[in-house]
Amino acid sequence: MKIVLIGQSVFGAETLKRIKIQNKIIGVFAPYKNNSYLKDPIEETAEELQIKTFTFPKLRSDNAIKLFKNLNPDLCVMAYVTEIVPDEIISSPKFGTIQFHPSLLPKHRGPSSINWPIINGEKKTGISIFYPDKGLDTGPILIQKKITIDKNDSVGSLYFKKLFPLGIDAIVEAINQIKLGNPKPNLQDEKKATYEGWCKEKHTKINWESNVEIIHNLIRGSDPQPGAHTRHKTKQIFIYGSKKFIINQTKKFGSVSSIGKEGIRIACKEGEILFEKVREKNGKKISAFEWSKISNLKIGDVFLNK
């Protein structure tokens, strides 16, 4: 089967390696970079495999659409695509286009679909392979796979250890279904649909008066990006590697209860939060213990909500 792949990052690169094994990849559309010396992993991989690569500032441009149609693929695969792809491209291949999305559609449509289930305290999520249409993550679903969100999963661990490999396997499975001529897509139930936009810093400020569970979910649902943040004196800091402890709390919320090599523990409603790493605004991520020494942090110091 002749396939064009649109994608980016390591996920796109690893998808390319896998689907090339049993298919003919006739072109790869990689993200456009202003600096020609900076290449996305998918572009580097395509060049190593001697596959033609194409980059356009916008896939909606006439030149991009014309070139795609001239390739005349049987199928288009979209693996980690954040740009809007026009219907002229999506509908052009003989067997259409399939797309990877890291949630159980129709829940968590949108660009930060790994963050929000963790922040919301959900126990399950997964991946969907679907046929994109003119809407945003709204097309018929071909394959879904569920996974458990463990109590200390972060965005990083959930993606790289679970969603990433599961997603590539599902893309291969979907291609095989299409090649065999027996895909069985199901329409999304709009009554169950949810949408969230990008998870940004404005969403991830910690309120130390919140319940320990809420804070724990916020930190891990923002780790590594955009990072949950708080203030120590005049400095904004981002914290990572959260663990929660359920205890009867008598200390002031936001106060430091312990400092050690394992991290810093902060009092909050119904418990304490331990975090392992810290990054100051525009700084590098370091261990919380190292940061405590640099910042002269003391037991009883209070992290601020504002």
Same domain, residue pair 211 and 269 = yes
- Lowest mean pLDDT across 180-184, 190-194, 211-215, 229-233: 180-184
Report the pLDDT value the prediction gives residue 112, as an integer from 0 to 100: 97
- Is residue 10 included in any domain, yes or no? yes
**Domain that includes residue 78, residue range:** 2-192
Environment class of 306 (CB within 10 Å of its CB; exposed 0-12, middle 13-18, buried 19+): exposed
Q: How confident is the model at residue 36 (pLDDT cuts 50, 70, 90)?
A: low
- Which of 50, 103, 71 is CA-nearest to residue 6? 71
Same domain, residue pair 91 and 205 = no
Same domain, residue pair 91 and 177 = yes
Same domain, residue pair 143 and 122 = yes
Final residue belonging to a domain, choices 192, 225, 248 = 192
Tens digit of each residue's pLDDT (9 = 90 or more) over 205-214: 999 999 999 9
Q: How confident is the model at residue 34 (pLDDT cuts 50, 70, 90)?
A: confident
Report the pLDDT value the prediction gives residue 33, as an integer from 0 to 100: 80
- Phi, psi (degrees; rounded to nearest 5) at 160: -75, -35
- Is residue 302 included in any domain, yes or no? no
Concatenating the DSSP letter of every residue in 216-277 gives HHHHHTTTTTT-EEEEETTEEEEEEEEEEEE----SPTTBEEEEETTEEEEEEBTEEEEEEE
State the average pLDDT over residues 171-177: 98
Tens digit of each residue's pLDDT (9 = 90 or more) over 142-165: 999 999 999 999 999 999 999 999
Report the pLDDT value the prediction gives residue 38, as an integer from 0 to 100: 81
**Domain CATH number, residue 102:** 3.40.50.170
Same domain, residue pair 81 and 177 = yes
Distance CA 60, CA 172 (A): 27
Tens digit of each residue's pLDDT (9 = 90 or more) over 246-283: 999 899 999 999 999 999 999 999 999 999 999 999 99
Residue 77, pLDDT above cutoff 80: yes
Residue appearing with tokens 């390739």: 71
Final residue belonging to a domain, choices 192, 212, 227 = 192
**What is the pairing mode between strands 141-148 and 53-55?**
unpaired
Report the pLDDT value the prediction gives residue 201, as an integer from 0 to 100: 96
Report the pLDDT value the prediction gives residue 177, as an integer from 0 to 100: 96
User: DSSP assignment, residue 144?
Assistant: E
Q: How confident is the model at residue 17 (pLDDT cuts 50, 70, 90)?
A: very high
Q: Please say whether the dihedral angle defined by the alpha carbons of residues 167, 24, 81 and 279, taken in this order, is positive or negative.
A: positive
**Domain CATH number, residue 242:** 3.10.25.10
Query: Which uninterrupted H or E stretch holds 97?
Result: strand 97-101
The answer to whether 97 touches 118, Cβ cutoff 8 Å, is: no
State the average pLDDT over residues 44-67: 96
The total number of structural domains in the chain stands at 2
State the average pLDDT over residues 177-198: 96
Distance CA 103, CA 129 (A): 10
- Is residue 214 included in any domain, yes or no? yes
Final residue belonging to a domain, choices 192, 214, 237 = 192
